[in-house]
């Protein structure tokens, strides 16, 4: 008996510039280390819950940058912060093709070293995380192995987006997600793994 060929279901995620992610309602003040969760209504009924632990990521940044981003009106859309030695620190936001400089002064070696100590040990792939969060820190090293740049990417846990692909889970086929960086591919796959475990009693790898 000839086995049937494998099929792949392709799912395109829209770019942030066309359909922005749902906004997050935040309290006016938040203590460092606290998680922020907010339910938001979505089209077709239901809710998504967004949790970003943004304060944990800001703690590794120089104080002036931390204060700058705490007061940034678009911090709910913050995608990543780039700290490169000898260059001005830059923040990038969802839906924007370019970045925004956070100050005129360049990043110093001392600031990079302090941020590196706050993050902790990096793996062999020059990546690290912040314990208890989904934030990812990537390091750029010189030929001598010295860290000369850090890219601090915001990780957000979003529960509720699996509804747009829930019917595809019953096909037992592979699903390919396509989309630009920051549109939520990892978020959707993480939610699918949760649903497979909780509702279908399956474990994702």
Architecture category of domain 49-155 in CATH: 2-Layer Sandwich (3.30)
pLDDT in tens, 171-181: 777 778 787 77
- Going by DSSP bridges, is the β-strand pair 8-12/174-178 parallel, antiparallel, or unpaired? parallel
The more confident residue out of 203 and 83 is 83
Neighbours of 21 (CB within 10 A): 20
Residue 3 has pLDDT above 90, yes or no: no
pTM summary value? 0.62
Give pLDDT, residue 160.
Answer: 63
pLDDT in tens, 23-72: 443 333 333 333 344 444 444 444 455 566 788 899 999 999 999 999 89
Indicate the burial class of 142 (C-beta count within 10 angstroms; 0-12, 13-18, 19 or more). Answer: exposed
| Domain boundary assignment for the chain | 49-155, 159-204
């Amino acid at each position: 008996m000839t086995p049937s060929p494998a099929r792949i279901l392709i799912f395109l995620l829209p770019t942030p510039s066309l359909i922005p992610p749902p906004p997050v309602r935040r309290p006016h003040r938040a203590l460092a280390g606290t998680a922020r969760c907010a339910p938001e209504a979505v089209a077709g009924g239901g809710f998504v819950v967004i949790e970003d632990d943004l304060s944990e990521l800001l703690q590794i940044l120089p104080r002036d940058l931390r204060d700058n981003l705490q007061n940034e009106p678009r911090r709910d859309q913050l995608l990543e912060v780039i700290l490169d030695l000898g260059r001005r620190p830059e923040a990038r936001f969802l839906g924007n093709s370019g970045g925004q400089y956070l100050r005129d002064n360049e990043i110093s070696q001392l600031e990079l070293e302090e941020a590196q100590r706050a993050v902790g040990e990096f793996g062999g792939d020059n990546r690290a995380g912040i314990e208890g969060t989904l934030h990812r820190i990537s390091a750029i090293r010189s030929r001598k192995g010295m860290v000369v740049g850090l890219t601090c990417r915001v990780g957000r846990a979003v529960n509720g987006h699996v509804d747009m692909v829930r019917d595809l889970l019953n096909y037992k086929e592979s699903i390919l997600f396509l989309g630009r960086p920051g549109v939520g591919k990892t978020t959707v796959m993480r939610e699918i793994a949760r649903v497979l475990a909780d509702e279908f009693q399956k474990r994702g790898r």
